[in-house]
Amino acid sequence: MSQSAIVLPEALPREGAATLEASPLDRIRAVLPDLSGALRACAEYILAHTWEARRLSIYELAERSGVSTHAVSRLARRLSYSGYRELAHQLALELGRIVGMAYALPDSLARDSAAGPVTGPAAVVTRVLALEQQALRDTMRTLDLEAATRAVNALVAAKSILIIGTGAGMAAGDLVAYRLTMLGRRARCAGDPATILSEIHLLEPGDVVIAISYHGESRTVVEGLEYARQRELRTICVTAAPGSSIVRWADIQLAACGSEESLAFGQFASRVTTVAVLDAIVAAMAWVQRDTALAHAAEVTLMNQRRNHGRPSGRRPRAGKV
């Protein structure tokens, strides 16, 4: 076998009995068609609120899914676990794996061979681009346009805007801050916990804090958004995990993935969809403030062009050189 060939493992079964090798979510999907009543209600809640469910006690999960703790325990045993504690532990491990894989390969490429073997880098590039195009289409179809409109109005009304994030979220935040400043708005991106808190402390009621967290559980980002709410700032979150912790502290929630996306691929594609959603929000804000924003952007662009095409200041051309 050539080194360029990538052979994918067989896809895990989606129907039938749960297997000991399958992940918790795969096991739930496998047995779901055969479940009914309380067990099905509990299983459907876990699938619909996976990020939230992973940190719930058995009593909290039973209450939120509308079943008894006995039903939760029965579901865990039906999934071939010793009890709910093992189910919750394995679910947390799976979500950790999903977040890790989000910086490597899409889940469908890493695990699913339904579309055939991937034979080389070119095939990987093609498949990933196709998957991300689909993610953008799904995001556009499922995006809450009312929430998007409220986000635009909040940005228009704000005097200052702070974007917070960590890791890859910082890259998206820096891009948004740059675009906003080009349009004449005071904007800053921060990722260090101490810097985030000090920047939030400088903001005034009515200013906006945008939090970016793909999995919605970044402690730095969640605590920053909580502090922003305490200071009566407008809070917006962009995440690929609608049921995550960050949503609780956001006045406006924007989902950077389609509702039909798999949990794993939603995390992988969220970097692309997050940038696209925020880019669209900023563009809409520029349209609302086009009388001032576009003129400011044009002036700054012209200054940069003059600087780039002019002779560097403080340096003279050598004798005999033009």
Q: What is the mean pLDDT of residues 89-97?
A: 78
CA distance 322 to 307: 18
Please calculate the CA angle 243-244-250 and round it to the nearest 5 degrees: 95
pLDDT digits (tens, 9 = 90+) for 207-244: 999 999 887 888 899 999 999 999 999 999 998 877 77
According to CATH, what is the number of the domain 136-306? Answer: 3.40.50.10490
CA distance 105 to 290: 40
Same fold, 24-101 and 136-306: no
Averaged pLDDT score across all residues of the chain: 81
CA distance 236 to 211: 6
Structure confidence at residue 260 (pLDDT): 43
Does residue 10 surpass a pLDDT of 50? no
- Place 271 in a pLDDT band, splitting at 50, 70 and 90: confident
Q: How many other β-carbons are positioned within 10 Å of the β-carbon of residue 257?
A: 29
pLDDT digits (tens, 9 = 90+) for 41-84: 999 989 887 777 877 899 999 999 999 999 999 999 999 999 99
Is residue 234 within 8 Å of residue 209, measured between CB atoms? yes
Fold of the domain built from segment(s) 24-101: Arc Repressor Mutant, subunit A (1.10.10)
Structure confidence at residue 25 (pLDDT): 85
Q: What is the mean pLDDT of residues 146-169?
A: 95
CA distance 21 to 51: 21
CA distance 289 to 183: 9
Structure confidence at residue 15 (pLDDT): 37
pLDDT digits (tens, 9 = 90+) for 101-151: 555 566 566 554 445 566 677 877 887 888 788 888 888 888 899 999 999
Does residue 284 surpass a pLDDT of 70? yes
At residue 190, what is the residue type?
A
Structure confidence at residue 261 (pLDDT): 46
Q: What is the mean pLDDT of residues 282-290?
A: 95
CA distance 64 to 82: 22
Q: What is the mean pLDDT of residues 281-304?
A: 91
Domain boundaries, the chain: 24-101, 136-306
